[in-house]
Amino acid sequence: MWQKKSNGWFFYVLGSAGGRAKDRYSMCLYLPESLLLDAGNIFALSRDKLLQVEHVVLTHSHLDHLVDIPFLIDYTYGLREKPLKIYGLPETLDSLRKNIMNWDVWPEFSSLKLPTTDEYAVEYVQIKPLQEYHIDGYRLIPVESRHTVPTVSLIVKREGRGIVYTSDTYRNPELWKMIQEDPEIKLVLVDVSFPSYMSMVAQASLHHTPQSLREDIKLISRKDLRVYVVHIKPSHEKEVLEELRKLDYKVYPIVGKRKLTV
């Protein structure tokens, strides 16, 4: 089930919503066999797959993107043979350690050694925008996003084909220019959280609406690029989906889980 196809690579959207509701889970991408981008629904994986996760890249510090981190390390702590590496901007990692993994809300597992080895259970790895990182056969390039806290979008490449996961973002023409100019990028997952009539809320919180996405996507003239919409707020799902159907540029909303081939 999890083996790579010969005509490209694939990954799983385990969570695609901009919050939590019945059958709706927050952002989490699984790139087999050991890499997660954000941690909004890690437990969609089987127990065996959870034990194989060694790397979690966090795009920013908001709760919906890191909510399962404490539970993942708690669940796998006694069974792990290697540290869980958590990657993020310095501000993201500082927030996680200060506000959650702080011995008040949850144990700080980076100070605890694994029962089976002499290594610590968690290792924090700082990342910087526009630096390239090689993780489990994937090349990752963080790109600065536009959000209310320090945030990165992620370019991920393998076998000459790539994706962009914008994470939470408002208008970011520089990122879309990069996408337009890079033919290796075949697929984009972009945040559209609110319907356009809530543009004031979207601008204040720095999230897209269908209308603001329409402005950014005008920078794309490529015909081979697939654009998937994620992070829709569950309470506004119906309204956003209706608007997206009317856009000039064809986009593909993701609601729930999904397997995507690059």
The confidence score (pLDDT) of residue 186 equals 98
The confidence score (pLDDT) of residue 113 equals 97
Give the SS3 label for residue 256: coil
Answer whether 136's CB lies under 8 Å from 33's CB.
yes
Whether residue 25 is predicted with pLDDT greater than 70 in this model: the reply is yes
Q: Kindly report, residue by residue over 150-182, the tens digit of the pLDDT.
A: 999 999 999 999 999 999 999 999 999 999 999
Q: Kindly report, residue by residue over 202-241, the tens digit of the pLDDT.
A: 999 999 999 999 999 999 999 999 999 999 999 999 999 9
Tell me the C-alpha distance between 232 and 85, whole Å. 28
Whether residue 192 is predicted with pLDDT greater than 80 in this model: the reply is yes
The confidence score (pLDDT) of residue 107 equals 97
Answer whether 131's CB lies under 8 Å from 141's CB.
yes
The confidence score (pLDDT) of residue 215 equals 95
Closest Cα partner for 13 from 51, 41, 34? Answer: 41
Letter for the amino acid at 256?
G
Whether residue 7 is predicted with pLDDT greater than 90 in this model: the reply is no
Q: Kindly report, residue by residue over 106-137, the tens digit of the pLDDT.
A: 999 999 999 989 999 999 999 999 999 999 99
The confidence score (pLDDT) of residue 8 equals 87
Question: pLDDT averaged over the chain?
Answer: 96
| Structural domains in the chain, sorted by start | 10-261 (3.60.15.10)
DSSP state of 115: T
